[in-house]
Structure 1
Amino acid sequence: MASQFQRAIDPSLHPLVTGNYRIATPAIEALYELVDRCLRYRVMGALIHGPSRVGKTRAIEYVRLLLARDHPKMTSYHAQCEHKPRHAEGPFFANLLEAVGDPDPNAGSNPSKRMRLALRIREAAARAGSGTVLLFCDEAQRYNDNEYEWLRDVHDCLDRQQIKLFTFLVGQQELLAQKTALQVAGKTQIVARLMVEELVFHGIRNAEDVATCLNGYDQTAYPADSQWSFTRFYVPAAFDAGYRLVSDAGVLWQAFESAHNRANLPGQLSIPMESFARAVEIVLKESELKDDSAYRPDPALWAHAVRHSGYVQSRHATGRVLAAA
């Protein structure tokens, strides 16, 4: 039984309980490939667009972890673009100052905020030992033309100081319409600096994508250097007897597909990462007390997990079609 296994940590501290974990998806892998390509070819700006709640914010966090591992001398920032009733210069630079760790982002005049932003980035680049900095602007569809111009000014200012700023605008599908509008308006300098590459960010679109994600739970260990993968932590007897979540990829995909069709939701099925992760967490937590060497989650449990994952509820609430573009 599961109680025979001495786990490496207190179960209440496990990332599956705290929610502090990231699992790679095909869309995240595509995002990292885009970032890597931009760095390699010196493409200074890209936009990444997709429906809400498909995991774009989590993807940024995951990619930043990979960057820290693969490019330890590069500095990266994650700015959460805010909804503002009016688009003023002060709040824009205060938001970026907060993202780069300034202790008092609202202090000072607008020109001083601009100067301080460049200073903070320059200091971080010097500490890291590289003149390359990456900025991920989350929910970037909230920017207007002026804010794109101010962002371009930041690029130019840092460029004069031999610092290359790569900007990745991440947001909903409206981002693509903004790019088109800028092109039509003749503001090609913004497009050429901030919006050169494009990537459609999508949810989990087929059983193969499901398998890729489930394999992450089977392979990812916590603590990192232990033998305790996420799956083994919850069903150690079944895991040691050969069970892996990835073997249920088809069952989980079918459970989401059935829920999608029963609810008469429009478009092709594309599972948001939030709903997917919740379903997996439900199955692992429900399986913990049933664990033995012969245990395998029943298809009915996967169906139960999908019902409580929030997928159908969130689709009804938003009315958004999550089908991949």
Structure 2
Amino acid sequence: MNIKNLPVYKIICRHYKNANEGVFFEDILKDIGHNLAFSGKANIKRDRLTRFLIEQGEKSQQHRIILFLDEAHRLHELHYGWLMDIYNELDCVGIHLTVILVGQNELLYQRSAFIRAKKAQIIGRFMVHEYEFTGIRNIEDLKPCLSGYDHDSEYPIGSEWSYARYFFPEAFNKGYRLEHCAEELMKIFNDLRRKAGLTKPVEIPMQYLTLTVEYALRKFGANGQNLDWLTTACWEEAILKSGYVEAEIHQEII
């Protein structure tokens, strides 16, 4: 698929005590960066959002809009009904709205409830497929994540300067790569878990992996201590500073 100029937006689903259409569309307008998110009644905000999405969709070669709804387990049936109105209006002018719901396990329970209630109109538009995201479980999961810092983080595009090269230029030129640290880093995660008495199978959330890597790059790289390369002690400090161990202890208690 040619994704040139494909409009992609991330929406944060708030916790709503009561379903309020005006507040709901106001939050979406705010998250997509619309300049007039707060003025007007609910129907005006809905129309404003629809017109904006139509305009953006028409600029796309695919005539498609993608919305990521984060914390989507907070949505209720009324919210899906309002989203359906937007979906249908875009569909009428030939623009396809793809909604990707991201949330906790409650989202699966909601899907099951909609299936039992024969809410095919909701399932068909927003919940056709399901996919479980997992954390890092092994070296095979970890390697491509670290490789992203070696190769896929090039900035500016075309400069051939990735995060790994920027923070450790001499080591990078000598062939050192974060991807090559995968086995050692996985071992340190497991060792720290063992020391903390954690017994559940290892699953490292991406949040804590990125916090670990970013701390290591900033603290020990060119803008920090300017070390030649990352040592075992560096990685251990970075993991501890990320808060991963404390979070896992808390989860195991729960």
Query: What is the TM-score with the length of structure 1 in the denominator?
Result: 0.70
Q: What CA deviation, in whole Å up to 9, does each residue of 1:146-165 have, x standing for no partner?
A: 11111112211221222211
Correspondence for 1:89 among 5, 13, 21: 21
Matched, 1:177 2:121: no
1:135 and 2:67 equivalent? yes
Match of 1:208 in 2: 140
Partner SS, residue 301 of structure 1: helix
1:228 to 161, 166, 169: 161
Bigger relative contact order (CA 8 A; separation at least 6): 1
- The count of corresponding residues between Structure 1 and Structure 2 is 250
Partner of 1:23: none
Task: Specify the code of the residue in structure 1 equivalent to 2:158.
Answer: D
Residue identity opposite 1:185 in structure 2 = A
Residue 199 in structure 1 maps to residue 131 in structure 2: yes
Unaligned runs of 5+ in 1: 1-35, 37-69
Give 2:203's aligned residue.
270
Of residues 188, 203, 212, the one that matches 1:279 is 212
In structure 2, the partner of 1:309 is 242
AA at the equivalent of 2:143: A
Distance of 1:307 and 1:279 partners within structure 2: 8
1:247 to 180, 183, 208: 180
Aligned-residue identity in percent: 36
Q: Could you tell me how far apart the structure 1 residues matched to 2:205 and 2:186 are? A: 12
* Counterpart AA for 2:196: A
| Letter matched to residue 109 of structure 1 | K
Whether the 8 Å CA contact 1:279–1:306 is kept in 2: the answer is yes
Equivalent position of 2:190 in the other structure = 257
Secondary structure at 1:82's aligned position in 2? coil
CA deviation string 1:32-56 (max 9, x = no partner): xxxx7xxxxxxxxxxxxxxxxxxxx
**Residue type matched to 1:163 in 2?**
I
Cα-Cα RMSD: 2.2
Distance 1:213 1:245 in 2: 9
| Amino acid paired to 1:250 | E
Aligned to 2:33: 101
1:147 counterpart residue number:
79
Q: Measure, in 1, the Cα distance between the counterparts of 2:25 and 2:226.
A: 53
Q: Which residue does 1:300 correspond to in 2?
A: 233
Amino acid at match of 2:189: F
Is there any run of 5+ residues in structure 2 with no aligned partner, and where? none
CA 203–105 in structure 1, closer or farther in 2 if over 3 Å, else same:
same
Structure 1 segments, 4+ long, off by >6 Å, are: none
Distance 1:262 1:240 in 2: 36
Q: What corresponds to 1:43 in structure 2? A: none
How far, CA to CA, are the matches of 2:226 and 2:30 in structure 1?
47
* Offset at residue 258 of structure 1 (A): 1.6
One-letter identity of the residue aligned with 1:226: S
Give yes or no for contact 1:94–1:113 (8 Å, CA) kept in 2: yes
Report if the CA contact (8 A) 1:100-1:121 is conserved: no
Is contact 1:218–1:244 with CA below 8 Å preserved after alignment? yes
